[in-house]
Structure 1
Amino acid sequence: MVKVTVWNENRHENKNPLVRSVYPTGIHGAIAEFLRQESFEVRTATLDEPEHGLTDEVLNNTNVLIWWGHTAHEEVRDEVVEKVRLRVLDGMGLVVLHSGHFSKVFKKLMGTTCDLKWRDTGEKERLWVVNPGHPIASGVGEFIELEKEEMYGEHFDIPTPDELVFVSWFEGGEVFRSGCTYTRGNGKVFYFRPGHETFPTYYNADIQRVIANAVNWAKPVERNRPVYGNAKSLEKISSK
């Protein structure tokens, strides 16, 4: 069974009654609920827990980590970020959602600013599937339409994705690379744009399907990890 940890800074839900009304159990709670229905083993972690809920024990027992953050990126301790980065390099999958593009861990793995344009007016978003054969798009039609979302616009300062799965169009005219995959070391990373805290995006069945697909895609490959460092020869080396 795939072991998933859903991480959320959980600040909006505690401070903003509107967000609390949309996600009464927190964004992490809403995501964990639908993932459990997919038969994943799911736990949650939040910013204000000891070690941000990401102890060595938790990370070592996580196959895929889902990350949502927004207002408190700088409060995430650097040593925890480094532990997450090393786990990804060792094979743990990472699914970064919405404003997690500005998280320390995503920026560290990407090596760029990960900056973008944004506008929070609650406009229509249409996410076009531009890679219909990709497993993350399985079970989704030609596009996903969200009635109200925050706009993210290009240029998105990320490395060129290994694969581009979704491109968004917004009512105001902007476009955005909304579903991007990467390989980092032995691990896989998927960035998925939708999910502003004041809109019920994570209750949308297609959005839920994409996140569940991303978990299955990002889970570690079952094999022995490569051995690094000085290596003995497999064949006899002739003396010169």
Structure 2
Amino acid sequence: MIRAVVWGENVHERENPIVAGVYPKGLHGCIADALNAADGISATTATLQEPEHGLPQSRLDETDVLLWWGHAAHGDVSDEVVERVVEAVWGGMGLILLHSSHFAKVFKRLMGTPCNLTWREAGERERLWVSARQHPIARGLPDHFELEHEEMYGEPFAVPEPLETVFISWFQGGEVFRSGLTYRRGAGKVFYFRPGHETYPTYFDPNIRRVLVNATRWAHNPEARQSSDWDAPNIDVSDALEPLEHRGAKLHKEGDAGFQ
């Protein structure tokens, strides 16, 4: 069973009646429902307003894949929690960033770039093309599908070159955007997926829900999560494989815990 946590900012749902009408259980609740309807996934939720944003170390230790939706309150996310999530990704936890989470502290920290883009909110049609048809995240999808109303994101998208570009979007106004990108950070798998503006019922769309399920399964990396390799400090190796003559002054003392 893949243990997933859907993190939601939970701001628009509480403050905007339009968003509350579209997502009465919150965006995080809707996404969790989509995952729980799939075999082999158990999804719970966490929100910004909870202590430690619902992500204490003990919970991350038991999380295989974290899905993140944020928009209006990126700056309110604790830097301590951000570093905790980053460390978990390095150690093998999967991370899926949704829509405006391109600007989340967690994503920018892992990418090391501004992660900015062009955008327009006009409720225009989005056509998503599958550009990596054999990728596990695209399993069971047609070669393209459409969302009747979405916010436009356009290139240039200031992120590092991805391992794979799974989806490319075309918008009614003419722009295109790399809407599904995969990365590896440490032992963790990272997927950015663009659709999901809060005023449109995007997360009820069956193709979008299939992507969320596929991505959660793809991001699951149980071997890495069970390994301590990424948690280890620098380790002094006293015996070299080849004959070695010590030269120069030696700074470290015996028993130093990997100081470098």
The TM-score by the shorter chain falls in which range? over 0.9
1:115-126 matches, cutoff 5 A: 115-126=116-127
What SS does the aligned partner of 2:223 have?
A: coil
Q: CA deviation at 1:8?
A: 0.4
1:196 — aligned with what? 197
2:43 — aligned with what? 42
Give identity over the alignment, percent.
56
Is residue 2:65 matched to residue 1:64?
A: yes
2:103 — aligned with what? 102
Normalization by structure 1: what TM-score? 0.96
Work out whether residues 64 and 222 of structure 2, in 8 Å CA contact, stay in contact via their aligned partners in 1: no
2:183 — aligned with what? 182
What SS does the aligned partner of 1:222 have?
A: helix
Q: Deviations over 1:84-126 (max 9, x none)?
A: 0000001000000000000000000000110000000100000
2:88 — aligned with what? 87
1:17 — aligned with what? 17
Mapped to 1, the partners of 2:171 and 2:45 lie a distance apart of 31
Structure 2 residues not aligned, in runs of 5+: 246-260
Is residue 2:238 matched to residue 1:237?
A: no
What SS does the aligned partner of 2:212 have?
A: helix
The structure-2 alpha-carbon separation of the partners of 1:93 and 1:198, relative to structure 1 and needing over 3 Å to count, comes to: same
Mapped to 2, the partners of 1:129 and 1:111 lie a distance apart of 27
Structure 1 residues not aligned, in runs of 5+: none
Q: CA deviation at 1:220?
A: 1.5
Which structure is larger by alpha-carbon Rg, 1 or 2?
A: 2
What SS does the aligned partner of 1:230 have?
A: coil
1:213-228 matches, cutoff 5 A: 213-222=214-223, 224-226=227-229
The structure-2 alpha-carbon separation of the partners of 1:91 and 1:234, relative to structure 1 and needing over 3 Å to count, comes to: farther
Normalization by structure 2: what TM-score? 0.89
Q: CA deviation at 1:237?
A: 3.0
Is residue 2:207 matched to residue 1:206?
A: yes
Q: CA deviation at 1:238?
A: 3.4
**Letter of the structure 1 residue corresponding to residue 26 of structure 2:** G
Paired residues in the alignment total 240
What SS does the aligned partner of 1:120 have?
A: strand
Q: Deviations over 1:39-59 (max 9, x none)?
A: 311110000000000111111
CA RMSD of aligned residues (A): 1.4
Deviating more after overlay: 213-222 vs 130-139 = 213-222
